[in-house]
Amino acid sequence: MAELLPPDVRRCTYFFLYDGSKVKGEGDRTREGICYFYPEETPLDRQELLCGQLAGVGRCVSELSFSPVRILRLRRNKFAIRMKDDFFWVSVDAAGPAADFQDGSGFVSSEYESVMVIQRIYLCRSFQALGCSVEVPIVSVCELLDQLIDLFCFYNGSVRQSYQLSSQEFLAARWARYLSHLQSGSSELHHIFSCLRTIDSTNVDPLLLLKAALILQACQRCPLVLAGCILFRGRVVSTQMCPELTMKVMVHESETYTKTPAAHCSSGPFGGAVSSVTVFLTLSELQYLQSAPVNKHLSSESTPQKETPRRKTRLSRTLSDMPSTDSDPSDRGSLQSPQLESFSPQLSDSSVFSPVPSHSATDPLHPPTQPLQPPFSNGKHSSEAEDEALEEPSYYHSFHSNGGDSQTDASVFEENCQVLNGGGDGGGDGGGDGGAACGTVFDFREAANDESHDGKEDGCRSAPEPPRPPHCGAFDDPEQSQLVPMTLYLHRVKGLVLALLVEPLFLSDTASMEEVYHSSLASLNGLEAHLRTVAPGAPGAPGPYVFAHFDHIQSTLTTNLSGGPGGAPERPFVRATSLLHSHFCNTETLQEAIIRSAGAAVYGTRSVAQETYFQQHGGSFRNSGIPNHQDSAFSLPGKARHRLLKHGVNLL
């Protein structure tokens, strides 16, 4: 029955933006309301049918439930939907967490579009949901849609304004570009996890990554520079931004990489190598970027409590918020008695899945994250971490002594750790030992130990685009909060790009610009030369096993899957991964799972920060299906632990 059809390689088969305010009277034609429809070659009457029916039914259901429709399924398609109509918008805000989310002033001044009644529906469709093809989980479809809308707002500002200012054709080209970027040549696994593409850091000298981080740090000496990232051939080398922001920045980079700088880019005084473009940040993104590095954790507390069930950062936030380490013992106490929470049903069931978590409900959200950690993980992690720290002591120490001021040091270090971890040396563990090495500043990290990556996540996640809970939750919508124009500065050296988010003033401040340019130029050239010579790592040797390792915090994926679409032997693995991923997303307390069909047994495990999937090839899984402890399927966890160590995935 299975594996009959290769799935459509496109990740999204329909996408449209429909403005219901233009279709009100009897005489108004549906086509007036269609702002953008993808694929554009769809016959107009079909466009009208889809827009009209789906918008109509969506509106009707929304009115019945007092809440916008989020997911709509047909027998053969599934649609993620976002609809905003002022009336709904206001009422949803009042009930949902988004209302409390900005600190006072910023939110009050945010643009209430009370003049126009706009109803917009964004839709996109995933793969044909035929039983035998890989189904991308609905979680991922929703994520894709949100990414798309966020992207649009990042480069164009609010949707309404852009449609007032620019022509439909112009914006249609934009939508098409973002769509094609999001769909461009990555594997199904990438679609399932919606992850960033990074350079394969197992092949790269860690010193190069350090160098990249230092370049970024150096740029930050200019107070007008908020944060930056370095990209090489469309892949992230190092970033100071959260994954969501990095992803947005990458769109522009890939665009300029393939074309000459587009018309809207203003060339600087440094020729074609440098360009800039206006982008729009949400208030919370900006707030995070502007805050002094050491205060980021503190300020993150004041940012919205829009925690999602998937991102389990609460506990570590509590820890990192503690100014002293005095209270740690008690916290650890609670940390190590997970039974308490996992036994209480109201915590794990109701509050976590409460569709619109109220602001006050976020505190009770802390405990349920606990059962996720195996009770024994702490000890093991710390020893592991120490081992690693011992392996490269010089590296850390040199870095540490380099920084001087402890504040900048902290942030750089953090970035650095992130990058290194991205290199796959064991997920987020590096952060832990980094903290240990760094001394007092990171004491609380050490206490939190393997949660340390959460600390970082904190930093990043306080930016406004935490992926939403799959089926619910109020949006942290770029359009709801005020958008602040900023500038994206790009300095290209062949395949390498330095992308900086800077204050708009930066462009007129020639002195700063020159300083940034000249201070980084030489290093960039050197980095580029080195990276160019790095052999494009052997495409994951088709070993006796396949695995996929997803890091939630950095949104990166490590896999030895070749990645080409439709590889028949991989299909069972991708299918199982897709199912397990959505199960992990929907079930807070689930830690590991083994599922077996007639042909394949797949093991999946997740911790706070990562998800890992593993399948062993060969060794016939044909058996009776009756419980049997000698069954090879049940040895998968052990095998995964051993095999994946050499990929830098630590499952201990």
Q: What is the DSSP string of 437-452?
A: HHGGGGHHHHHHGGGH
Which residue is it, tokens 């395949």?
495
Nearer to another protein, 262 or 598 (CB): 598
Residues 96-125 that bind another protein (CB under 8 A): none
The answer to the question of residue 73 lying near another protein (CB under 8 A) is yes
Nearer to another protein, 77 or 325 (CB): 77
Distance in Å, CB of 30 to another protein, minimum: 13
Residues 20-49 that bind another protein (CB under 8 A): 49
Nearer to another protein, 86 or 509 (CB): 86
Distance in Å, CB of 56 to another protein, minimum: 6
The residues, any chain, with a CB within 8 Å of residue 315's CB and separated by 6 or more, are 331, 335, 366, 369, 370, 448, 451, 454
Distance in Å, CB of 500 to another protein, minimum: 36
Within 10 Å of residue 301's Cβ, how many Cβ atoms?
A: 13
The answer to the question of residue 68 lying near another protein (CB under 8 A) is yes
Rule CB under 8 A: choose which of 20, 97, 473, 478 binds another protein: 473
The residues, any chain, with a CB within 8 Å of residue 200's CB and separated by 6 or more, are 536, 537
Nearer to another protein, 352 or 497 (CB): 352
The answer to the question of residue 53 lying near another protein (CB under 8 A) is yes
For residues 83 and 69, is the Cβ–Cβ distance under 8 A? Answer: yes
For residues 241 and 502, is the Cβ–Cβ distance under 8 A? Answer: no
Rule CB under 8 A: choose which of 182, 230, 438, 474 binds another protein: 474
Residues 578-637 that bind another protein (CB under 8 A): 579, 583, 587, 589-599, 601, 622-629, 631, 633-634, 637
Binding map of another protein across residues 283-322, x = CB under 8 A, - = no contact: ----------------------------------------
The answer to the question of residue 132 lying near another protein (CB under 8 A) is yes
Rule CB under 8 A: choose which of 191, 248, 456, 575 binds another protein: 575
The answer to the question of residue 56 lying near another protein (CB under 8 A) is yes
The residues, any chain, with a CB within 8 Å of residue 289's CB and separated by 6 or more, are 226, 227, 241, 281, 501
Distance in angstroms (rounded) separating the CA atoms of residues 308 and 314: 10
The answer to the question of residue 472 lying near another protein (CB under 8 A) is yes
Residues 352-371 that bind another protein (CB under 8 A): 353-356, 371
CA angle 355, 76, 563 (to 5 degrees): 85
What does DSSP assign to residue 362?
G
Distance in Å, CB of 644 to another protein, minimum: 18
Phi and psi, residue 644, nearest 5°: -80, -10
The answer to the question of residue 541 lying near another protein (CB under 8 A) is no
Nearer to another protein, 370 or 558 (CB): 370
The answer to the question of residue 564 lying near another protein (CB under 8 A) is no
The residues, any chain, with a CB within 8 Å of residue 19's CB and separated by 6 or more, are 33, 34, 35, 118, 119, 120, 163
For residues 408 and 218, is the Cβ–Cβ distance under 8 A? Answer: no
| Site residue total, another protein (CB under 8 A) | 81
Cα separations (Å) of 310 from 7, 106, 571? 28, 27, 26
The answer to the question of residue 534 lying near another protein (CB under 8 A) is no
CA angle 92, 147, 136 (to 5 degrees): 100
Distance in Å, CB of 438 to another protein, minimum: 34
Q: Which candidate, 556, 533, 527, places its Cα nearest to that of 207?
A: 527
Nearer to another protein, 53 or 402 (CB): 53
Rule CB under 8 A: choose which of 111, 349, 391, 514 binds another protein: 349
For residues 557 and 574, is the Cβ–Cβ distance under 8 A? Answer: no
For residues 44 and 16, is the Cβ–Cβ distance under 8 A? Answer: no
Nearer to another protein, 539 or 599 (CB): 599
Three-class SS state of 483: strand
Distance in Å, CB of 179 to another protein, minimum: 22
Rule CB under 8 A: choose which of 576, 585, 609, 644 binds another protein: 576
Distance in angstroms (rounded) separating the CA atoms of residues 183 and 180: 5
Nearer to another protein, 598 or 645 (CB): 598
